[in-house]
Structure 1
Amino acid sequence: MKKKILFVCLGNICRSPSAEAVMNGFLKVNMLDDEFECDSAGTGGWHVGERADSRMRTHAARRDYDLTSIARQFNPKNDFDEFDLILGMDSQNVSDLKGMARTSEDLSKIKSMTDYCSRYEHYDSVPDPYYGGADGFELVLDILEDACDGLLKQIDK
């Protein structure tokens, strides 16, 4: 049975779909893609049904990541039961997720994405690039690559 990982940000159009794509890329390279399934969601529902932000898709594509996910809102009724690990992109996302948790088991599945960083340890969140320039999208990808590398090392033990 596949282990399931859910990446969560605010709107599910920049950070969480990127985390999903980066992790899928890392899993494929390490031939673990048949052992894990990744998805992403947003705590808010403003962008439900939309593709990832075009700027995020462009920056990710330059690194050979394909952002194919369609935005959806986190569903506490299903997602806590469906996923083994739920990763929030920033402290607000983590706090929102914890507020939706029904049980201590739900709470134990929620972690912060940056907990897995080794090179970008000074970041306590994956910053939202939506209102910024190109540098913000690149920084998001740098942090996510670091975090996904750390996550892979953690789950491969």
Structure 2
Amino acid sequence: MTHRVALVCLGNICRSPMADVVLEHRLAEAGIDDVVVSSSGTGDWHVGQAMDERAAATLSAAGYDPTRHRARTFTADWFDEQDLILTMDASNHADVLALATRDEHRDKVRMYRSFDPEADRPDAEVPDPWFGGPEGFDDVLAMVERTTAGIVRHLAHDRD
């Protein structure tokens, strides 16, 4: 059975697409081929656009391929299409939950960093690097890579 994971941030051009690319890469490395990963944003400003150039450059420098990404918007129909929905910050989390119409929808939604062993609390956020310099994207990538390891372990365990 295919498992579907969605990653959600604000505009779907920085954090969630970075997490998407890294998660797909790490799942392939782990030999897990029955998980479909997607990403979206709670806002629609960037629909159809490629990933932010700084995010793409950061991923490329680390050996990942960011070229396939095109921004999409999270809508209520995603709840029926996804098994796990991971939000990048409290605002994204609240926006996604506001679209949930059933308890089983809300039960699918978690904070992304709930899988991060270094998160200092259950609602720890992935900071938005949009307004900062390149170091913000490096910091997000480090956080994403660390958190992805926990997500891959969780998904591997769900398969057993």
2:110 counterpart of 1:111: yes
TM-score by length of 2: 0.93
Query: Which stretches of structure 1, 4 residues or more, deviate above 3 A after TM superposition?
Result: none
Contact 2:5 2:37 in 1 (8 A): yes
Distance in 2, matches of 1:47 and 1:10, equals 10
CA offsets per residue over residues 78-105 of structure 1, 9 Å max, x none? 2000010000001111111111101000
Question: Deviation at 1:129?
Answer: 0.4
Matched residue, 1:86: 85
Residue 154 of structure 1: how far off its partner (Å)? 1.5
Q: Distance in 2 between matches of 1:155 and 1:31?
A: 12
Residues 1:122 and 2:112 are matched in the alignment = no
The answer for the alignment partner of 1:66 in structure 2 is 65
TM-score, normalised relative to structure 1:
0.95
Give the equivalent residue in structure 2 for 1:14.
Answer: 14
Q: Does 1:46 align with 2:45?
A: yes
Structure 2 residues not aligned, in runs of 5+: none
1:30 partner amino acid: A
Q: Deviations over 1:123-142 (max 9, x none)?
A: 71110000001110001001
Query: Is residue 97–residue 109 contact of structure 2 (8 Å, CA) maintained in 1?
Result: yes
> Helix, strand or coil for the counterpart of 2:38?
strand
> 1:30 corresponds to which residue?
30
Report the AA paired with residue 135 of structure 1.
E
Q: What is the distance in 2 between the residues matched to 1:121 and 1:81? A: 29
- TM-superposed deviation, 1:121: 1.4
- Residue equivalent to 1:148: 148
Give SS of 1:136's match. Answer: helix
Identify unmatched segments of 5+ residues in structure 1.
none
